[in-house]
Amino acid sequence: MPEQVTLTVPLAAPFGLVVRMIVSGVAERAELAFEDMDDLQLAVERLLAETGPEGRVSLSFEFGSGYVRTRIGPLPERGLAEALQQSGHTPGQITLAWILGTVVDSYGIEPSSGEGIVVRLEKLVKEQA
């Protein structure tokens, strides 16, 4: 049975440190390598930065054998869904989709029980030598 940690935090900047600590703790518990933990932190922070500083968001971390799955939402859809679905990369342009495609193993949009969207991020746990 996968373990799960869920928290709700304000999107205001000072709570970024709280989110960073939670992500690092979850990564440690899931036995992610340091680089993979750093990648997951970057993905979560960039996604929250794209959302803006208003409101609250729930973060749910599920970790099981070989993976960490993060769900973040509900997030306002204001162009976020479109930004996540952009494919391809234009040289010199760093997009949200490009960052997530680079630092997590998969990501997607899931339905929300209320307004907005939920973004799913998945990071696989690699065997450490």
pLDDT at 87 (0 to 100): 65
Which pLDDT does position 20 carry in this prediction?
93
> Is the domain covering 3-124 a CATH 3.30.470.10 domain?
no
Greatest Cα pair distance in the chain: 44
Over the stretch 39-93, which tens digit does the pLDDT of each residue have?
A: 999 999 999 988 888 889 999 999 888 899 999 998 887 777 777 777 666 677 7
In the prediction, which pLDDT does 88 show?
Answer: 64
What does pTM read for this prediction? 0.87
Nearest residue to 119 (alpha-carbon basis) of 64, 54, 67, 51: 51
**What are the sequence ranges of the domains in the chain?**
3-124
